[in-house]
Amino acid sequence: MNPCRTAFSAAINNGKKMMHSNGNALIRPMLRCAPVALIWDRNAHTQDITKNMQFISNDKTKITTDPKTMKMDKQTSRPTCIMINWLLARQKHVMKYANLYLGRGFDVLSVSCTPWQLMWPMKGSQLVAGDLIKFLAANDNEQPLVIHGFSVGGYIWGEVCAHVIDNKDLYQPVLDRVAAQTWDSAADVTEITIGVPAAVFPKNKIMQKTLKAYMEYHMKTFHAAATVHYIRSSQLFHTNLCHAPALFLLSASDPVGDERSNRAVYDSWLKMGVNCTWQCWDRSPHVQHYTKHREEYEALLTAHLQRNVPHLRAAEHARAAA
């Protein structure tokens, strides 16, 4: 078997592509009207909203989402963190970051994208982004939102911005509710051919090289079906429609969340008047800065949230006055 096809097949399998009974690909993630509730630790309660979105809360009340409107049958009174994960993120690792927000009185909306969905945007990642912005618009609880994106999360957010442009009257108010945004190891279009192989085959350098070769072929051959969408999303991420204060977390040694591409976004946002904080460590692996620099990471995130999220500012003032 051709090794490029082997690598590509593995990427699809890791993407967990669903199939109809007649063998045709089920392109759109299945919406579940009666989500399955899973307990990941003694505090967090996780429920599926779609195949790519999970709602995580300290409140163990079951919720149901209308598959057409994306509206939940019960609305929360807490702010929400939109956590856009890296490729093939394990649930236990997602929960490590979710707990940073659950402990501060947030609910968390965890968003994932598979390698297959990334490689075929029109049938994959754009639908994920569309479900995300539709869900946020349908469930406006008048509480602030924060974004915490990792790696390809920057690309997904660019696709969200594309949906906003197409319907600004409906969706721009959602972005206006965002009080703060954090970008950990954000990867640009130029790093896709590095990041996808590393995510699919984290411990197999030979297969990484093989899949990298296929990704380069894929981006040249399927320019209209894939690459033009990556480029547009990158452009929209650089000119982000969300102007909330931003925290950049990255390292100079990370080839996926490249320092130069992150600096270009940072400079672009500064010119737009976005208040930005920059933290670039000398050495730490892709999306592992929290593991390597735990205390500093938590201090930076805490300060960022306390400066910009109203209920955390109020709590800090109350503690200071006590």
- Structural domains in the chain, CATH included, are 3-288 (3.40.50.1820)
Q: Is residue 15's pLDDT more than 50?
A: no
Dist CA 37 CA 59 (whole Å): 12
pLDDT level of residue 131 (50, 70, 90 thresholds): very high
H or E stretch covering 102: helix 91-102
Q: Which pLDDT value is given to residue 32?
A: 33
Q: Is residue 4's pLDDT more than 90?
A: no
Q: What is the largest CA-CA distance in the chain?
A: 69
Q: Please give the structure tokens belonging to residue 93.
A: 């690792």
Q: Is residue 321's pLDDT more than 70?
A: no
Q: Is residue 190's pLDDT more than 90?
A: no
Task: State the pTM of this model.
Answer: 0.86
In this structure, the chain runs to a length of: 322
Q: Please give the structure tokens belonging to residue 253.
A: 């040694």
pLDDT level of residue 76 (50, 70, 90 thresholds): confident
Q: Which pLDDT value is given to residue 75?
A: 86
Q: Which of 18-32, 49-63, 133-147, 268-282 bottoms out in mean pLDDT, i.e. has the lowest? A: 18-32
pLDDT tens column, 227-260: 999 999 999 999 999 999 999 999 999 999 999 9
- Going edge to edge, which strands form the sheet with 178-184? 37-39, 45-50, 53-57, 107-111, 80-84, 145-150, 178-184, 246-251, 276-281
pLDDT mean across residues, the chain: 87
Q: Is residue 262's pLDDT more than 50?
A: yes
**Average pLDDT for residues 8-21, to the nearest whole number?**
46
pLDDT level of residue 94 (50, 70, 90 thresholds): very high
Helix, strand, coil percentages, rounded to 5, for the chain: 50, 15, 35
pLDDT level of residue 142 (50, 70, 90 thresholds): confident
**Average pLDDT for residues 22-38, to the nearest whole number?**
36
**Contact indicator for 289, 219 with CB cutoff of 8 Å:** no
Q: Is residue 31's pLDDT more than 60?
A: no
pLDDT tens column, 288-319: 999 999 999 999 999 999 999 987 866 655 55
Q: What is the amino acid identity at position 287?
A: V
